[in-house]
Structure 1
Amino acid sequence: MFFGKNKEKLSVESVDVKVDTFEMINIKDSRVVYINGAGKLKTFFSDGYYPTKIRLNGIPLVRINSPYCPTSNSLLATGYGIENANCQELMEIQKEINADFISLENSIKAMEPLLKLFETGFYLIAEAECYPTDGNGNFFWNIPNEFTDSPATGLAYLEDSDTYCVFNQPVYLYPTQTTDCYNEERVKYYINKFNNADNNEPRAIVYNFGGFINFIIDGHHKACAAALLGKSLKCLLIIKGEYSKNYGEDNQIFLNFLSSNIRKEDIPIKYQPFLKEKEKNWGSILINEGTVNKRQWENKYTNSSKKYPSLIEYATKVDDLIYDSIEITDKLINHCLTNFDENSQIKARKIFNNLEFLNVEKAKDFAVRYVKASLKQEISSKLKLVIYNFLVNIKNNTEVEQIFIDYIVYNEDRDDTVLELVNSYWK
């Protein structure tokens, strides 16, 4: 059995174990903790082993209707609003968590009152960058209250890759707070903070429940500010560890954090007895409809999702970086700047995705050279969107501005999907 739920024994302990999060490209740093928790924030199951709702102090935050096939999409619906959960612990940490970021360790310490509300078990707490969209073209807070298919809960299938599919990439966001709490002045406050921060801006707190999607525990206004700025949102990402066992010859036991696995023998001996299959929380509660989204969102918000990669675009980026990477050489770059057939365009995309991840300045140089060289060539709109989405965020740059002017002048297709993006550069 795990530790008892005696309130005096609730604790958050750092576990000295390394986790390889290389495959989750949005994670920058991470720590494993063992929480002896009160179980006030947990997932309830019904009708098999598929989650049906996540509750905080008994209040449903998110509802999930999962198919029997774990590789298929789930239906998501909102709950009753996290502000109605009467969570004093969340209020207790507001001052520290909304202050400038110092370090991951400092943030974990500040979050302890909240973390002690979780179910007992192992958790990965990570610095991560997430997008304020659901990965399906919607601003994160502008989602239906009723059950709706959510592609970000399943696998991303890639047509032109040997990888076939990508999964378990915790990058998109889902709300838990009702829009009644929206405060425009608070959004303006965070826009100012983000514009004047040097990587120390306050972090949002998000919790992953599988696939590509995380729900926001704290940080809805931070996410709004990021959306208006067209930036990713820096988050403190919480991922619950899951027990798994290889029933082959070695009967190996693992602790899984989405795409990262730790063998039992690599965990400190002190914690190994607590690595075992946990009983599911069973319980049902009838909810006719959620109440989170009650607002008519302005175009500046609803259009913000265009600034971020869709599920397939992000999965393609992961595939290019992790599963189907290429060696970038000057010879390959020069080839892609002089050849624009389909295969060369795929290589150009891989070059750009890798450079954007590894060296932003080199990515900028390649993007500028590529769009100049390919201006009068037949280039796929998907590739153009990837590169022009990057360039549109480089403001007050005469070279980039001239690139966009040239695109408008030479473009004869007024319905071109890239044209709207190019025109937005001056807004």
Structure 2
Amino acid sequence: MFRFNRKPKISLKYEGETERGVRFKAIEIRQGRAELRNVDIDIQSVPGGEYFTQESLLDNMKEWRFNGVPLIYVNAHYCETTRAMLMAGHGKRELDRYFSNINHGFAWENAIDALRPLLELFEDGLWWIEEGKGIPTDGEDAFFWDVGDRPRTYAATGSYFYKSDGIDYSSSHPMRYLYPSEFSSHYDESRVDHYIAHYQKHGIMPAVLTLQLPGSMSLILDGHHKACACALLGIEVPLIEISNKQIVTQYNSNLQLIWIGGKWHTIMGEIRQKRPVKKPRIKGISFLESSHAKKDWNDYAHAVWDYPTHEHLLLKDYLGNPQINVAYIEAALYSGNSDALQYLVTELPEFDEYFEFLRRVICLNKDDFILKKMALERLISSQSDETEAFLIECLVELEPHSGVRELILSYWTGDQI
């Protein structure tokens, strides 16, 4: 029986900006080749699969693969606040030929044409292309390429949900953390030097192409060396991110909806969902290379120390809710937790009780000179009409021989604190 080889069709459905001001394009793919796809797999057949079963109760095991070669294993959970477990795949050298247009004169205006060779590899459905910013770490303290050959959970794959006193709030932030799809043996220092020189000459870094993973984690499809260059330069990583968007069919109607910019939008023209074909669960493939963990990443380990962690950014978003930050502040003051208080002193935006908070930190019955000095510097730098009154209150409340008193008196003497 003769079979026609139909060419994939890609059409633009929406373009614009999200509520965070991020540019996006919503596209429909029809007759996609489904060579790059997310599939269910048998957890027992994954290399190191015994670690998934030992360390996690999750059972939604999936794998992004291209032509049968795994890019990444993901053991996620239906609850978005639960961290997912990740393990690196074999690399993506076969995909490299689809990225030539990304590295030569890519512009947002021609994003679909530039990405077309890659987009044709995906399955049918609604896909999302958006600009973004990334951080070259794993969301904690490690360089993004410094991964081992065993699965583990990552903080950046989950969010934070706060529920107390009638407040329901889920923290989020726009930054993406990165996960590699190449083995570290493919690292090429000359490529990193090339991108550093490009940035120093032109003041711009070419975008890194990523695939969205759970939470705030993204898989690098192309641009590992660009992300390395960003880490050594201490800058954020410019991203072009691809993700699959869920389509919702409105109850008792044929309208199809997607969530854009904080509200539901009706899709113009019906989107064909994936064909309901039963697919066998695909078994994992044994490793083709030895390990991700052999390279020494010491230079990069030091370079990424100054980037914010996922928890840091979630906390910053969380404290942006006026009802929540009061509760958190009281809890931090009550416990006297130095890390939490130092974060609040340095990052908390000014609010109605801001100076009172700083005064309470300075007067804490706690021997933490560094913390109190930070609070005092923040209070003095605010140059408010209330500054002197709060400093006098601190002098009255502090013990006579407290070292912080000398710092406070420097406000009037002009000495360097």
User: Cα–Cα, structure 1 residues 376 and 196, in superposed 2: closer, same or farther, change >3 Å?
Assistant: same
Determine if the alignment matches structure 1 residue 189 to structure 2 residue 209.
no
Identity of counterpart residues, as a percentage?
Answer: 26
User: Cα–Cα, structure 1 residues 92 and 74, in superposed 2: closer, same or farther, change >3 Å?
Assistant: closer
Residue ranges of structure 1 left out of the alignment (5+ in a row): 327-341, 353-373, 385-411, 413-427
Please state how far the C-alpha of 1:70 moved relative to its aligned partner. 4.9
Residues in 1 aligned to 2:280 and 2:322: alpha-carbon distance in whole angstroms:
41
Q: Output one character per residue of 1:47-97: Cα deviation in whole Å (capped at 9) or x when no partner.
A: 7983421101110100012346553111110111111xx33xx41432x31
Map 1:65-76; keep pairs closer than 5 Å.
65-67=75-77, 69-76=79-86
Map 1:342-361; keep pairs closer than 5 Å.
346=344, 349-351=347-349
Residues in 1 aligned to 2:173 and 2:280: alpha-carbon distance in whole angstroms:
25
Q: Output one character per residue of 1:208-227: Cα deviation in whole Å (capped at 9) or x when no partner.
A: 02211010000000010011
Please state how far the C-alpha of 1:152 moved relative to its aligned partner. 1.5
1:9 partner letter: K
User: Cα–Cα, structure 1 residues 67 and 30, in superposed 2: closer, same or farther, change >3 Å?
Assistant: closer
| Aligned match of 2:22 | 28
| Aligned match of 1:79 | 89
Q: 2:229 is paired with a residue of what secondary structure?
A: helix
Rg larger in structure: 2
Residues in 1 aligned to 2:216 and 2:185: alpha-carbon distance in whole angstroms:
27
Residues in 1 aligned to 2:149 and 2:139: alpha-carbon distance in whole angstroms:
17
2:8 partner letter: L
- Say which is worse superposed, 37-46 or 221-230, in terms of deviation: 37-46
1:283 partner letter: R
- Say which is worse superposed, 136-145 or 219-228, in terms of deviation: 136-145
Q: CA RMSD in A?
A: 3.9
Determine if the alignment matches structure 1 residue 97 to structure 2 residue 102.
yes
Determine if the alignment matches structure 1 residue 153 to structure 2 residue 152.
no
Q: 2:304 is paired with a residue of what secondary structure?
A: helix
1:45 partner letter: D
| Aligned match of 2:146 | 142
Normalization by structure 1: what TM-score?
Answer: 0.65
Residues in 1 aligned to 2:278 and 2:250: alpha-carbon distance in whole angstroms:
20
Q: Output one character per residue of 1:80-119: Cα deviation in whole Å (capped at 9) or x when no partner.
A: 1111xx33xx41432x311344x31223311110111011
Determine if the alignment matches structure 1 residue 45 to structure 2 residue 40.
yes
Map 1:365-384; keep pairs closer than 5 Å.
377-379=372-374
Residues in 1 aligned to 2:70 and 2:244: alpha-carbon distance in whole angstroms:
18
Q: 2:129 is paired with a residue of what secondary structure?
A: strand
Q: Is the 8 A contact 2:136 2:304 kept in 1?
A: yes
| Aligned match of 1:254 | 257
Determine if the alignment matches structure 1 residue 268 to structure 2 residue 273.
no
Q: Is the 8 A contact 1:125 1:237 kept in 2?
A: yes
Q: 2:6 is paired with a residue of what secondary structure?
A: helix
Normalization by structure 2: what TM-score?
Answer: 0.66
User: Cα–Cα, structure 1 residues 260 and 151, in superposed 2: closer, same or farther, change >3 Å?
Assistant: farther
Aligned residues between the structures: 325
User: Cα–Cα, structure 1 residues 35 and 6, in superposed 2: closer, same or farther, change >3 Å?
Assistant: farther
User: Cα–Cα, structure 1 residues 317 and 344, in superposed 2: closer, same or farther, change >3 Å?
Assistant: closer
Q: Is the 8 A contact 1:52 1:63 kept in 2?
A: yes
2:199 partner letter: F
User: Cα–Cα, structure 1 residues 208 and 187, in superposed 2: closer, same or farther, change >3 Å?
Assistant: same
Map 1:307-346; keep pairs closer than 5 Å.
307-319=306-318, 346=344
User: Cα–Cα, structure 1 residues 246 and 268, in superposed 2: closer, same or farther, change >3 Å?
Assistant: closer
User: Cα–Cα, structure 1 residues 107 and 253, in superposed 2: closer, same or farther, change >3 Å?
Assistant: closer
User: Cα–Cα, structure 1 residues 38 and 256, in superposed 2: closer, same or farther, change >3 Å?
Assistant: farther
User: Cα–Cα, structure 1 residues 124 and 286, in superposed 2: closer, same or farther, change >3 Å?
Assistant: closer
Residues in 2 aligned to 1:307 and 1:50: alpha-carbon distance in whole angstroms:
34
Please state how far the C-alpha of 1:310 moved relative to its aligned partner. 0.8
Please state how far the C-alpha of 1:313 moved relative to its aligned partner. 1.0
Residues in 1 aligned to 2:123 and 2:263: alpha-carbon distance in whole angstroms:
20
Q: Is the 8 A contact 2:126 2:271 kept in 1?
A: no
Residues in 2 aligned to 1:35 and 1:6: alpha-carbon distance in whole angstroms:
18
Q: 1:12 is paired with a residue of what secondary structure?
A: strand
Residues in 2 aligned to 1:71 and 1:280: alpha-carbon distance in whole angstroms:
30
Residues in 1 aligned to 2:142 and 2:275: alpha-carbon distance in whole angstroms:
36
Residue ranges of structure 2 left out of the alignment (5+ in a row): 43-57, 325-339, 351-368, 379-402, 404-417
Residues in 2 aligned to 1:163 and 1:20: alpha-carbon distance in whole angstroms:
27
Q: Is the 8 A contact 1:62 1:78 kept in 2?
A: yes
Residues in 1 aligned to 2:343 and 2:88: alpha-carbon distance in whole angstroms:
40
Q: 2:221 aligns with which of 205, 217, 220?
A: 217
Q: Output one character per residue of 1:196-254: Cα deviation in whole Å (capped at 9) or x when no partner.
A: 3344x31111000221101000000001001111111101111111133576x999853
Determine if the alignment matches structure 1 residue 63 to structure 2 residue 57.
no
Determine if the alignment matches structure 1 residue 239 to structure 2 residue 243.
yes
| Aligned match of 2:362 | none
Please state how far the C-alpha of 1:176 moved relative to its aligned partner. 0.3
Residues in 2 aligned to 1:160 and 1:197: alpha-carbon distance in whole angstroms:
49
Please state how far the C-alpha of 1:150 moved relative to its aligned partner. 1.4
| Aligned match of 2:211 | 207
1:40 partner letter: E
Please state how far the C-alpha of 1:261 moved relative to its aligned partner. 5.7
| Aligned match of 1:416 | none
Please state how far the C-alpha of 1:154 moved relative to its aligned partner. 1.6
Q: Output one character per residue of 1:264-292: Cα deviation in whole Å (capped at 9) or x when no partner.
A: xx2112xx242589668552223456856
| Aligned match of 1:371 | none
Q: Is the 8 A contact 2:17 2:23 kept in 1?
A: no
2:233 partner letter: L
Residues in 1 aligned to 2:151 and 2:299: alpha-carbon distance in whole angstroms:
25
Residues in 1 aligned to 2:310 and 2:214: alpha-carbon distance in whole angstroms:
14
